[in-house]
Amino acid sequence: MFWQSKEVKENIKWVFILLLLYVIQILFSEIARIGNSKPDFLLVGLFFFAVNNSQTRATWAGFGLGLLEDLFLAQMFGLMAFCKTLVGFLFWYLTPKKHNLLLYLVSFFLFSFFHFLIFDFVYLGNLSLDFWEIVVKHSIPNSLYSLLLVVIWILYKQVRK
């Protein structure tokens, strides 16, 4: 049976993980807000998905997660889909393939910063905020908060071994 193959089981596992992260994002992102920054659980999940899968899957997963986020959170429709598609591609394409923790963390921070920069610049651009105010008050704190989730997850996996 096709659903008993290793690849299908792996795909089903990732679908459930990403959908669970979507539910967590909806339920807990506002609760976990600190000032202007809130965690992006979907971005963290997309990062780990991209590192463990192909470029095409990472790009499509980014699009799907962004579209789901656009549908439920109703910000600027299509903006999250664009940002997460782009960052899904970048996560796979530019994250080092060697398992080096520092390079993983730096690449995650840079690409999540790029993600939040695009989103915040478009979403907050009409509020008369200058570029540096958007970067310092929104993009960097959101990137650091999401990076903290990556570090917590990696530490959890290390302790669990």
CA angle 78, 83, 88 (to 5 degrees): 125
pLDDT at 5 over 80: no
Please report, to the nearest 10 degrees, the dihedral formed by the alpha carbons of residues 112, 118, 121, 123 taken in order.
Answer: -100
Q: DSSP 3-state assignment of 72?
A: helix
Q: CA distances (Å), 105 to each of 32, 48, 53, 127, 154, in order?
A: 21, 11, 18, 32, 10
Tens-digit pLDDT profile for residues 121-158: 888 777 777 888 888 888 999 999 999 999 998 888 88
Q: Tell me the fold of 2-160.
A: Arp2/3 complex 21 kDa subunit ARPC3 (1.10.1760)
pLDDT at 46 over 80: yes
- Two tokens at 3? 């659903």
State residue 97 phi and psi, 5-degree precision: -80, -15
* C-alpha span between 61 and 50 (Å, rounded): 8
pLDDT recorded at residue 109: 93
Tens-digit pLDDT profile for residues 53-91: 888 889 999 999 999 888 876 667 888 899 999 999 988
pLDDT at 15 over 90: no
pLDDT recorded at residue 54: 85
Tens-digit pLDDT profile for residues 83-104: 999 999 988 887 766 677 888 8
pLDDT recorded at residue 27: 87
Instruction: Give strand pairing partners of 158.
Output: none
Give the CB-side neighbour count of residue 115, counting CA atoms within 13 A: 34
pLDDT at 114 over 90: yes
The pTM of this model reads: 0.85
* C-alpha span between 43 and 92 (Å, rounded): 13
Question: Pick the residue with more confidence: 100 or 44?
Answer: 44
* C-alpha span between 152 and 160 (Å, rounded): 12
